[in-house]
Amino acid sequence: MTRPAHVVIVGAGFGGLAAARALRHVDVDVTIVDRNNYHLFQPLLYQVASGLLDPSAIASPVRTIVRRSRNIDVLRAEVSAVDLGRRRVITSAATLDYDYLVVATGSVTDYFNNDDARRHSTGLKDLSEAIALRSHLLNCFERASLVADAEARERLLTFAVVGAGPTGVEYSGALAELIKHVLPKDYRRVDFGDVSVVLIEAGDRILATFAPRLSRLAARSLRQKGVRIILGTSVRGIDDHGITLDNGDRVEAETVVWTAGVRATTPLDVQGDALARAGRVKVTPELTLAGHPEVFVIGDAAASEQAGAVLPMLAPVAIQGGRYAGKVIAARLKGAGSAPFHYHDKGTMATIGRGAAVAQIGPLKINGLIGWFIWIFIHLLYLVGFRNRALAIWSWAWNYFFWDRPVRLIVAASADIASNAREDPRAARR
Which residues are the active-site residues?
170
Taking CA atoms, 156 is separated from 15, 240, 326, 385, in Å, by: 39, 11, 49, 38
Asked if 218 and 350 touch (Cβ cutoff 8 Å), the reply is yes
- DSSP type of residue 341: P
Contact 298, 103 (CB under 8 A): yes
Find, among 218, 227, 200, the residue nearest to 350 by Cα: 218
**How many Cα atoms within 13 Å fall on the side-chain side of residue 272?**
1
**Alpha-carbon span 140 to 416, nearest angstrom:** 10
CA gap 316, 320 in Å, rounded = 6
Instruction: List, in sequence order, every residue forming a beta bridge with 238; answer none if it has no partner.
Output: 243
Q: Is 162 helix (H, G, I), strand (E, B) or coil?
A: strand
Identity of residue 53: L
Residues in Cβ contact with 209 at an 8 Å cutoff, skipping those fewer than 6 apart: 165, 312, 348
Q: Are strands 100-103 and 95-97 parallel, antiparallel or unpaired?
A: unpaired
* Number of C-beta neighbours around residue 374 at 10 A: 17
